[in-house]
């Protein structure tokens, strides 16, 4: 199939958010994340799987018919599937493109697994983790200083 196969399958949109360059197979994972947020429940979504990509060989992509994707949702996606591109489309044109990587500081998204951590006994204290390496695969709790692999921590949805 040609490199333009995606345009044959999903029409261009007038206004919306395109999550592009998703490694093939990870699109459904991102959809799961998106639909954990109450505000996203009614947003029209198109999922494309296994499209040809110059960069990745194969990629998934998601189009959302909405004009704004909340930063906490982008942060959540960036932690679970680093390196995707979030594109904003307006008047049929790509207005902005941002490649999203896990942030150096992850606020109020992950639960600390240390039962003695203050964030688990004092509800008003939010959680804060800092990346301890560039890949952000390991993070350290700001409060109890314990180190965890990112994928062992549970996500709390507000």
What's the rounded Cα separation, in Å, for the pair 132 and 154? 18
Does 138 help bind Zn ion (rule: CB under 5 A)?
A: no
94 binds, among Zn ion, ligand CTP, none (CB under 5 to 8 A by kind): ligand CTP
33 Cβ partners below 8 Å, 6+ apart? 73, 76, 77, 80
User: Which member of 22, 62, 117, 150 binds Zn ion (CB under 5 A)?
Assistant: 117
Does 144 help bind Zn ion (rule: CB under 5 A)?
A: yes
Does 153 help bind Zn ion (rule: CB under 5 A)?
A: no
Asked whether the CA dihedral 39, 44, 47, 53 is positive or negative, the reply is: negative
User: Which member of 22, 136, 143, 153 binds Zn ion (CB under 5 A)?
Assistant: 143
Burial of residue 72, with CB atoms counted within 10 A of its CB: 0-12 exposed, 13-18 middle, 19 or more buried: middle
Closer of 89 and 112 to ligand CTP (Cβ): 89
Closer of 97 and 137 to ligand CTP (Cβ): 97
Query: CB–CB of 111/154 below 8 Å?
Result: yes
**Interacting residues with Zn ion (CB under 5 A):** 112, 114, 117, 141, 143-144
């Amino acid at each position: 199939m040609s490199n333009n196969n995606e345009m044959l399958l999903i029409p261009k949109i007038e206004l919306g958010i395109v999550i592009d360059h998703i490694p093939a197979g990870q699109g459904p994972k991102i959809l799961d994340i998106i639909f954990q947020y109450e505000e996203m429940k009614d947003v029209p979504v198109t999922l494309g799987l296994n499209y040809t990509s110059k960069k990745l060989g194969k990629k998934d992509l998601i189009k959302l018919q909405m004009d704004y994707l909340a930063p906490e949702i982008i942060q959540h996606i960036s932690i679970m599937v680093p390196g995707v591109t979030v594109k904003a489309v307006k008047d049929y044109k790509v207005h902005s493109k941002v490649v999203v990587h896990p942030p150096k500081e992850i606020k109020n998204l992950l639960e600390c697994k240390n039962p003695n951590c203050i964030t688990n006994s004092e509800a008003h204290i939010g959680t804060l983790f800092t990346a301890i390496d560039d890949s952000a695969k390991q993070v350290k709790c700001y409060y109890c200083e314990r180190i965890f692999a990112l994928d062992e921590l549970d996500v709390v949805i507000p």
